[in-house]
Structure 1
Amino acid sequence: MNGPQNWLPVLLGGAAGAPLRYLADRAVQARHDTVFPWGTFIVNVVGSLILGLLTGAALSGAVGTDVRLLLGTGFCGALTTYSTFSYETLRLAETGAVLFAVANVVASVVAGLGAVFLGLALAQAILA
């Protein structure tokens, strides 16, 4: 079923996640005098942690479809950004900051996976 009961929570979550991503990125980046894209890195790791927590809660039966659509698909989908991560990594490499580009890829994958696993484990420990 793809009616309003499904796309409305996604829309609302995305409407909250997208501006939060932009504001968080700008706030974090303004505090760091470096070419490394800390803002995007932070929002992606935080989004991964939230998604891990949400997944653990869903697996335990603590949250239903509406919450998963609102927070998982909508909010986390808009908060996190693979396209910006890719673009910023490409720009780092093109401008000669190859070490930063490689560090961004490695750190983002390791931290993102670590955050989602941590969130899942926390939710399962709390809700078990």
Structure 2
Amino acid sequence: MIKSILLVAIGGGIGSVLRFVTNLLIAKNLPGKLHYATLTVNIIGCLLIGFLIGYLNKQSESENLKFLLVTGFCGGFTTFSTFGLENYSLIQSGNLITSLLYMAISIIIGILFVGLGIYLAK
């Protein structure tokens, strides 16, 4: 358990730092109203988590690498990748309606709760 937590923490720390650096570089080179940095990180994170799951599921001894790279690194880099993976899994298992509902609820309630948090902070 401790080993798993350490692997997630190490991966998460590296992912968070890489996200920060990516955001700085992209925001500096592509200023504008669209959040290119977040969009880029989310898309790269989704590609990466898909690749890692696809690759690591074929490996027999991949649990530690999943903790380090999938849960830790991808989770630190962008939680959107996990959201994408969860929805892909729902769709693959024939739960399209559940996936659409999950997406809609997550996005709508997430945005509403950001507003609520800002309101409560005032």
The TM-score, its normalising length taken from structure 1, stands at 0.59
**Does residue 53 of the first structure (1) align with residue 89 of the second (2)?**
no
Q: Counterpart of 2:85?
A: none
Q: Which has the higher contact order (CA 8 A, sep 6+)?
A: 1
- Inter-partner Cα distance in structure 1 for 2:64 and 2:71: 10
Provide the C-alpha distance between the structure 1 equivalents of 2:43 and 2:50, rounded to a whole number of angstroms.
Answer: 11
* Alignment-derived partner of residue 12 in structure 1: 10
State yes or no: 1:75 paired with 2:73.
yes
Against the structure 1 CA distance between its residues 63 and 42, is the aligned structure 2 distance closer, same or farther, given a 3 Å change threshold?
farther
The Cα shift of 1:58 comes to 2.0
1:41 aligns with 2:69: no
Q: Aligned-pair distance for 1:81?
A: 4.4
- Aligned-pair distance for 1:33? 2.7
Q: 2:29, 2:36 → 1: CA distance?
A: 9
Runs of 4+ in 1 over 4 A off after TM superposition: none
Alignment identity in percent?
29
Aligned to 1:124: none
- Which amino acid in 1 is paired with 2:8? V
Total equivalences in the alignment? 83
CA RMSD of aligned residues (A): 2.0
The unaligned stretches of length 5 or more in structure 1 are 91-128
CA 1:63–1:28 in structure 2 vs 1: closer, same or farther (change >3 Å)?
Answer: farther
